[in-house]
Structure 1
Amino acid sequence: MTLISEIQGKKPNELNKEQTVLVEFDKKNKEWFIEDPEEKQRYKYQEILERWIPEEEINKSEQNEVSRLIKRQKREKVAEMKREKNVQKKPRKNRSVYISGLSQNTTIEEVKEKFSRCGIIAQDLRSGEVKIKMYENKEGQFKGDCLVEYFKEESCGLAIEILDGSKLRPDDKEPMKVSQAVFKEEAEEEEEEEKEEVREDIRQDILEGCQEIGQVDDVIIYESEKEGIIRVRFKEKEGAKGCVKRMNGRYFGGKKLVAQLWDGEKYRIDDTTSK
């Protein structure tokens, strides 16, 4: 095992005694260097990247890596500001109640008549229809549950207090269950947006790094693969070979990369798509 493979990913103060003997510190520039006596190769520790970089590649590699890091940090800052903005947003007023336990032949008029006793039911601004959603199954039949949106938030609490456990019709076998509506769509949408931002950050970092090697046609992230597989397709074979030579064994996001030419195996982009 070479010296660089042993120390890569480690900070200068994390090296063992044998490795520390090979380290020197430039007090003027406050920089750490280490020299591999066998390969006669000198490396500099880049604090921002937390990597040891060959001295002859410092100017070019460091400039490119730092440039990518700055771009990534800018994207992360924008994403962080966006998340903070979302946190600062006033929580959406929940003016809806969820009703279950209704008979399958229940009509929207019956629901309207009963629940309007607790407050004004909101109306669609375009159609003028009351905002009552009757949930149906695949066959188009009423499932026995619905959603009622009130004009005022206070009406929800009143409807739950008065109507929960009561019957829509006197002859109904089962009582209704009335509860505050829970909206999962918004939380799921925000979570997906964050995942998409992370995916795009990774894709951009890989793309920018590989474009220094050759012309890139596309970058595909196989999200459903646990190993963290990414495919980079170059316009020319030489680009792919150069990518393997440069990227294999390097560190990205604290993890060691394994770069190899594609063997034709198909990987899953998601749970339904392979490519």
Structure 2
Amino acid sequence: MSNNMQNTHTEHQAADAPENPTQSAESSLHNDPRVRFVEETSKYVYTGDDGISYEWDDEKHAWFPMWDENLIESQQAAYGPTITEETTSTPRQKGKRKQIYTSEEPQLKKPKAEPKKRPNTSVYVTGLPRDTTVDEMKEVFEKYGILMEDLATGQPKIKLYKDEQGNLKGDALVSYFKEESVDLACNLLDDSDFRLGVPSKIRVQKAVFQAKEKPPNSETEQPDQKLKLDKKVVQKKRQKLEKRLDWFEEQSGKKADKFARVVVLKYMFTLQELEQDPTLLLDLKEDVRGECEKLGEVTNVSLYDLEEDGIMTVRFKEPESAELCIKKMHGRFFAGRRVEAHIMQGKEKYRESKSQDQTEEEEKKRLEAYEKWLESQH
């Protein structure tokens, strides 16, 4: 406010203002209708003949005008064009009652775009045996997708957690390249036995990450050193990984989609059982087909009679049926053996009789065994 405005009110107070209300007798205050005590502010207030309200300042022992719209209008009328809209708007923005003195709409800040959500490609595993190895984890979890590689070491990103003494705690973090692999691993591995024939139920869930608090005495040089190390290797490692993944998408896209429909069943038979019963091969294929057709359309069932692990494969029309098959067959007992089931990776090369050049002696033995079985049936 200008000095002219302040002087005007000072002169007005000297001529018309009541005396110090804190020193006046109660009777004089009651006789002055202009003075009143405001309980909310614990201050004395009086209204002058000009209609402007004044408030008593105990520290300065003087009456000061109360700033409101009526006061502003009266000052503008008194000084006319000398008080411009521009000059009055500046102090208003600094005052506590900014919204009283301006008719402008508050400026709304443009909301910041939400950061793109980073895909969760990791699973958290609990219930692991205390002697679990990274290679063992890799063998189990790579069946459900491509494992992410550590950029510095080239090893799969599998972390086995340890306690302060360096002993395994029984939990781990496994990172995949694609988010879809997380759902597949959770659906098919959760609440399953980690090791065949050993009661070792594991839980597999989507990993939940929390912000890590920085230790109070942590050194600041280590992150810088790590960044320097990463810059030297990250670019080459990432390019190598991208080339590998590009090749997978381009060359193996259709192949991967095809293998997603194929389920591998292990320990379905023994070689001794096939030798003792030549018809077991056909009967077993029919039984497996009948059981799997309950889950979806089956296009092919194969039995690899030269594999000691008793390998069979079932090809479905839809990948969803293959997932249901794994959920149903994995860990199930068949002829006293616990079956293992997983999606075919495309790297497997299983052996069967029709795909090998057998010697005449081997073929002769098989025919003789079949003839003996026929004779025993009569």
Which TM-score band applies after superposition, normalised by the shorter structure? 0.3 to 0.5
Q: Output the TM-score relative to the length of structure 1.
A: 0.43
Larger radius of gyration between Structure 1 and Structure 2: 2
Q: Output the TM-score relative to the length of structure 2.
A: 0.32
